[in-house]
């Protein structure tokens, strides 16, 4: 059985193909689930006679549930096995999807989304770690590249899929489709996912609680700075986060394998790669939030045109990540990332300099340049994060990859929201320029890994 055998260097075919397929199904489910819910919010609010503010909790509760449990579940997976945590995550996510379908109020739907977030955290926390056990060492970049491609495709398909479904069916169907796909992935994963190295240590419940509170409050404080929240509330949330992080780190310092992975962050190449990831995702989210306002309010495109133009970015990522993943198996990530991040920064600057009443082609090739640059960043950077951690610590490294992505996205969205609120239409252009600056910082951090 797959759960009784640890393969020295990846799985043999066809088990590798089937195991990776099980992983990719759950990846596309969790990625699309974030985007389809956003599109469905107005419909859900109308159906339950709730306010738009109340309906936003459906999205934010799901995201907070994920970020709270990423590192604790990664630690749990290192003790009991990535396979068990992953399969449990799929089961919880699938059952919670049934709960979403059966929800009869905004409150019960939000509660189901929280549980769904717990399941998604189980999936995301060890996703990349499992890929390390599925693929041979010399094909890891390829596996991560394909995984990144599927993420890009899922994020592109999500809004379109939601729009199509909502045009002829109720919003419940957006969650119904998770159930058969979740069951298929669970069966395939149970039969094919590999075992992993286990670490003999106890699970520190207090550290898990502190870690969950730390990242929940950090994300909440970042988001609150972009909303009309009293400053003292935002600062209190930030102080709570920093206090929990400090307590957690001090508590775990004597532990050779801490839940808050300070042991891995002490490795310069790991720490620089994580910082590169946070800064780059900040740049991308700054652009994604600002571009609709920029295209519609400044450049004069309509909603449909804006949606199609923005698709050029993730579609280019999907097209290039498999190639960049293959390159990552042969060439230094620092060089590949520097090239990609320089292109991303250049694309964002060129977008901010677009003339009024410009044509589609002028926008599309700039968006493709950004997508090409980002696609050259993600697989090589994720590969070096995984490879710079000992194999038994793959769970912690995988959890850090997901956490750094969410931190970057939250920071970018908050910065863009602040600039749009303070500067109006001009805030969209400034957001693109700040995003270019973040990409430039990432490029410099990437090169430092060569020292």
Q: 43-74, pLDDT tens digit by residue?
A: 888 888 887 667 777 888 888 899 899 999 99
For residue 364, CA distances in Å to 339, 346, 355, 358 come to 20, 14, 14, 11
- Residue 1 confidence (pLDDT) above 80: no
Q: pLDDT value at position 150? A: 85
Strand pairing partners for 10? Answer: 8
**pLDDT, mean over the chain:** 88
Contacts within 8 Å (CB) and 24+ apart, 387-390: 387/140, 388/264, 388/267, 388/269, 388/270, 388/273, 389/264, 389/267, 389/270
Q: At what angle do helices 394-423 and 106-134 cross, to 10 degrees?
A: 130
- Which stretches within 1-105 are classed as H helix? 15-47, 52-80, 82-102
Largest CA distance in the chain: 63
d(CA 447, CA 442): 9
Q: 124-160, pLDDT tens digit by residue?
A: 999 999 999 999 988 989 899 898 888 888 877 777 7
Share of the chain above pLDDT 90, in %: 45
Task: Tell me the average pLDDT across 22-35.
Answer: 87
Task: Tell me the average pLDDT across 359-376.
Answer: 93
- Residue 4 confidence (pLDDT) above 50: no
Q: pLDDT value at position 2? A: 42
Interior angle at CA 62, CA 175 and CA 204, nearest 5 = 125
Q: pLDDT value at position 302? A: 86
Q: pLDDT value at position 52? A: 67
Higher pLDDT, 292 or 280: 280
Task: Name the token pair of 329.
Answer: 């198996």
- Residue 5 confidence (pLDDT) above 60: no
Share of the chain above pLDDT 70, in %: 97
pTM here is 0.86
Q: 214-228, pLDDT tens digit by residue?
A: 988 988 888 787 677
- Residue 210 confidence (pLDDT) above 60: yes
Strand pairing partners for 8? Answer: 10
Task: Name the token pair of 4.
Answer: 């009784």
Q: 292-351, pLDDT tens digit by residue?
A: 888 888 888 887 788 788 889 988 998 899 899 999 998 898 999 999 999 999 999 999
């Amino acid at each position: 059985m797959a759960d009784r055998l640890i393969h020295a260097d990846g799985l043999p075919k066809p088990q590798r193909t089937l195991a990776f397929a099980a992983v990719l199904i759950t990846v596309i489910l969790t990625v699309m689930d974030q985007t389809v819910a956003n599109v469905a919010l107005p419909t859900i609010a109308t159906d339950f006679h709730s306010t738009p503010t109340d309906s936003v909790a459906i999205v934010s509760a799901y995201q907070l549930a994920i970020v709270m449990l990423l590192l604790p579940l990664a630690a749990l997976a290192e003790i009991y096995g990535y396979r068990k945590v992953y399969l449990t995550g799929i089961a919880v996510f699938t059952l919670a999807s049934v709960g979403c379908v059966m929800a009869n109020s905004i409150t019960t739907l939000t509660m189901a989304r929280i549980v769904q977030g717990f399941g998604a955290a189980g999936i995301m926390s060890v996703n990349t770690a499992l890929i390390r056990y599925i693929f041979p060492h010399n094909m890891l970049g390829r596996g991560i590249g394909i995984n990144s491609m599927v993420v890009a495709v899922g994020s592109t398909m999500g809004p379109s899929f939601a729009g199509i479904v909502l045009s002829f069916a109720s919003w419940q169907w957006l969650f119904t489709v998770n159930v058969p796909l979740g069951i298929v992935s669970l069966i395939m994963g149970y039969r094919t996912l590999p075992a992993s190295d286990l670490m003999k240590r106890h699970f520190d419940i207090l550290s898990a609680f502190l870690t969950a509170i730390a990242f929940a409050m950090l994300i909440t404080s970042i988001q609150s700075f972009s909303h009309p929240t009293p400053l003292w509330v935002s600062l209190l949330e930030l102080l709570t986060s920093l206090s929990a992080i400090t307590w957690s780190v001090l508590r775990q310092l004597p532990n050779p394998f801490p839940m808050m992975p300070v042991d891995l962050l002490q490795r310069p190449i790991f720490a620089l790669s994580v910082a590169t990831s946070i800064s780059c995702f900040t740049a991308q989210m700054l652009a994604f939030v600002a571009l609709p306002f920029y295209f519609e309010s400044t450049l004069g495109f309509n909603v449909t045109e804006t949606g199609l133009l923005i698709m050029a970015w993730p579609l280019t990522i999907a097209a290039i990540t498999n190639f960049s993943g293959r390159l990552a198996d042969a060439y230094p990530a620092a060089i590949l990332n520097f090239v990609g991040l320089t292109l991303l920064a250049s694309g964002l600057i060129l977008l901010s300099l677009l003339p009024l009443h410009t044509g589609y082609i002028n926008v599309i090739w700039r968006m493709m340049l950004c997508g090409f640059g980002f696609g050259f960043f993600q697989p090589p950077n994720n590969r070096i994060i995984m490879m710079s951690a000992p194999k038994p610590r793959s769970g912690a490294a995988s959890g850090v990859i997901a956490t750094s992505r969410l931190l970057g996205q939250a920071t970018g969205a908050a910065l863009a929201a602040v600039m749009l609120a303070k500067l109006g239409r001009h805030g969209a252009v400034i957001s693109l320029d700040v995003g270019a600056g973040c990409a430039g910082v990432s490029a410099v951090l990437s090169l430092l890994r060569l020292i």
